[in-house]
Amino acid sequence: MSKQRDFIDDDLATWLGEQHLFFVATAPTSLEGHVNCSPKGGDTFRVLGPMEVAYMDLTGSGAETAAHLRDNGRIVLMFCAFEGKPNVARLHGRGEVIIEGDPHFEELVALFPRKPGVRSVVRVQVTRVSTSCGFAVPLMDFKDDRDTLDRFALSKGSEGLAEYRLLKNSRSIDGLPALFDEPETMA
C-alpha cells in the first residue's frame, strides 16, 4: 500500500542511506523526447534536509538527467530494499545540476567520499515523498561496489575527462544541451 509522507524523517533518511542502489528518472518536456532512468550506486546519496537531497553524479556515457533538468527540472529518485524488510521509496521533486565553478559545488561535493570522475552534484528540492510495500522486489545479496568507473576516470586523467565530457556529455540523445553550453564553434 502506497503511503505519502509529509517529509523525509530520520528513519527514512537512515534507510535511504543504507541502500546500495537507487534509480533516477527524468523526462524532457517534448512528448517525442526519450524518458530516462539511470541506476546509481556507491556512496553517492545524501539527505540534506527533510525535503532536500543530493547525489554525486559521476562521468558517464550520456548526460540525459542533466539535459532534462535544464529543460524542466522534474526528477524522481526511487529506492528499493533488496535486503531485509521490503520497502520502496520515491522522492519526486525539482532538481538542479551543480557543476564545478558553481558557488555551491565544493560544499556539496565535500559531503561525499572523494571519487575520480565527479562531474556534478544533483541537488533536489523534494516535493513529494512516498513509500510502498516492495513485496515483489526480489531479495538479493550485495556483493561489492564496482570500481570500473573509477578506473576509467583515473585512466583518462583530468584533461581526458574534460575532452570525454565535451564529446559525450554536451547534448542528450534528443539534442538538448546537457552539462554545459557548447562553445560556438561546436554548435
CATH number of 102's domain:
2.30.110.10
Distance CA 34, CA 62 (A): 13
Domain membership of residue 129 (yes or no) is: yes
Domain membership of residue 185 (yes or no) is: no
Measure Cα distances from 113 to 3, 21, 82, 158 in Å.
Answer: 33, 16, 24, 18
pLDDT at site 187: 39
pLDDT at site 186: 41
pLDDT of 185 strictly over 90: no
Confidence grade of residue 17 (pLDDT, cut at 50, 70, 90): very high
Domain membership of residue 183 (yes or no) is: no
Mean pLDDT of 151-155: 97
- DSSP SS3 for 66: helix
Task: Read off the C-alpha cell for 40.
Answer: 546509481
Total of domains in the chain: 1
pLDDT of 182 strictly over 90: no
pLDDT of 178 strictly over 50: yes
Relative to beta strand 88-98, strand 74-80 is antiparallel
φ and ψ at 175, to 5 degrees? Answer: 90, 10
Q: Are 63 and 124 in contact (CB under 8 A)?
A: no
Domain membership of residue 87 (yes or no) is: yes
pLDDT at site 2: 86
Task: Read off the C-alpha cell for 99.
Answer: 557543476
Domain membership of residue 82 (yes or no) is: yes
Residue 128: alpha-carbon gap to chain centroid: 17
pLDDT of 96 strictly over 60: yes
Q: Mean pLDDT of all residues in the chain?
A: 95
pLDDT at site 153: 97
In this structure, the chain runs to a length of 187
Task: Read off the C-alpha cell for 184.
Answer: 560556438
Mean pLDDT of 29-39: 97
pLDDT at site 184: 43
pLDDT tens-place string over residues 103-147: 999 999 999 999 999 999 999 999 999 999 999 999 999 999 999
In 29-112, where does DSSP find H-type helix? 64-71, 105-109
Which range marks the domain in which residue 15 is found?
3-136+145-176
Burial of 5 (0-12, 13-18, 19+ CB in 10 A): middle
pTM value? 0.94
